[in-house]
Each structure stands twice: as C-alpha cells, then as structure tokens.
Amino acid sequence: MKSENNINNNDLNTSPIVVALDYADKASALAFADKIDPRDCRLKVGKEMFTHFGPQMVKDLQTRGFDVFLDLKFHDIPNTTARAVAAAADLGVWMVNVHASGGARMMAAAKEALAPFGKDAPLLIAVTVLTSMESSDLADLGITLSPADYAERLARLTRDCGLDGVVCSAQEATRFKSALGQAFQLVTPGIRPAGSKADDQRRVMTPQEALAASVDYMVIGRPITQSADPAQTLRDIRASLR
C-alpha cells in the first residue's frame, strides 16, 4: 500500500535521472530535496541514509513529492528477502531491489510477495554486476565471464523470474535492450558527466551516452551531491538531456 503521505509522482515525471542521496546528515539531504523539483528526478535512498535515518527518511522525501528508489539490494534466503521486499512496498516506495545472485527462487519469492499490492506494488529490479566491478574483481570470485557476459546471464535469470528490470552498467544497455526486450527496465549507476572523476566506479558512461544507449534510469550520486551547487548541477544535467 502507499503510505498516507506519499504523493505518487510517477505520472508527472519523465526524467530519467535518479539522484543517489548518499549524505551522512539528514539536514543536507533534505535541504537539497527542498531546492529541486520532483519533475527533474527521482531520489534513491541507499544503505547509508536508511541505516542512519530509517523509514522516516523515505517518508520525508515522499511528502515532498518524490518517488523513492529504496536501494537496499536485499540478498538473503527467499523468505527473508520476500518479507523485506513486502516491507518496502508497505512504505510506498517507487522501486526496490534485490541481488540477482541470490538466485531464481529468491527472486521469484520477492516477486510473489508483491502480488497483494497490485498496481501499487513498487518496481522490483535486481542488481547484476555492481558497476564498481571489473573483470579482475570477478576473477577474484572465481567468475571467468566478462562483467557484461555475467551481467547478461544474471539479467536473463531476472527477466525469467518476472522482475521488472535490472541494475547494470550503461555500457551494457544497448546489448541488453536488444537481447532482453525494450520493456525490461535498465537502471544504470556509474554515470559520470564528462570530466568528472570516476571515484570507485569502473564501468562508467556519461549521461548523454547513457541516454543514447536507451537506459531507462540513470543513477547519479557524487557528481551532483558533492558539487558546489547540487541543485544547479542537477538542473544542468537534466537540461543537457533534453
């Protein structure tokens, strides 16, 4: 169910931008939210903010009119994951995610947990290969496939379990749209405007390249939140995509 205060913004919002609200203090996060227009982006609450501030953080953003992607990347046994996904749906979030490497039974259980929510269910997506990972990181785990090949394998499994889409790199978007269908949603972190530093990201693309690759949503954090004027940086990136 939607929370009482959740003003669902889905119908109004045509922006592909999801800002990763990775702040250590709530005041800075809300000050940023107060300076931006919910039509220019959706907001992602991840492990840092949720661990600091809990579900109230999500509600505070929803009351300001934002669709919230709860990025907690659930990865557990099927029962626990399904119950966590249902709890996220109770919060009225727009999108929630699990790790595809939790396997088919886990993803199917998560999907099934959303059935009682009907049309109010959040989008359910699965993380394939983290955008911070490159071939050598996979090799350390005993995975000899390239990041793109392994991500496609996990994305196929995700689609076959009936989820709405995946988190992947924008570098994989053209290939995945063609292999998995246009309707399968691609949510892509690792977005870096030209000239910004990659930080810990490895499989990156600029916002313009990501748009040209037909991603559905591009997740952008530090290039916005750590800029001198985050609200203006968001508006500049949004304008550059029109």
Ligand X SMILES: O=c1ccn([C@@H]2O[C@H](COP(=O)(O)O)[C@@H](O)[C@H]2O)c(=O)[nH]1
Residue 66 sits at the vertex; the CA angle it makes with 64 and 67, to the nearest 5 degrees, is 150
Among 15, 62, 81, 131, binds ligand X (CB under 6 A): 131
Decide if residue 46 touches ligand X (CB under 6 A).
yes
- Residue 65 or residue 193: which is nearer to ligand X going by CB? 193
**Do 37 and 9 form a contact (C-beta atoms < 8 A)?**
no
Residues 66-105, one symbol each (x = binds ligand X by CB under 6 A, - = not), give: ----------------------------------------
Among 100, 123, 219, 237, binds ligand X (CB under 6 A): 219
Q: Which of residues 15-34 bind ligand X (CB under 6 A)?
A: 20, 22
| Residue 139 CB-half CA count within 13 A | 4
8, exposed or middle or buried, with CB in 10 Å at 0-12, 13-18, 19+?
middle
Among 199, 208, 209, 231, binds ligand X (CB under 6 A): 199
Q: What is the distance between the alpha carbons of residues 145 and 168, in angstroms, rounded to a whole number?
A: 15
Decide if residue 37 touches ligand X (CB under 6 A).
no
Measured in whole angstroms, how far is the alpha carbon of residue 41 from the centre of its chain? 12
Residues that bind ligand X (CB under 6 A): 20, 22, 46, 127, 130-132, 167, 189-190, 199, 201, 219-222
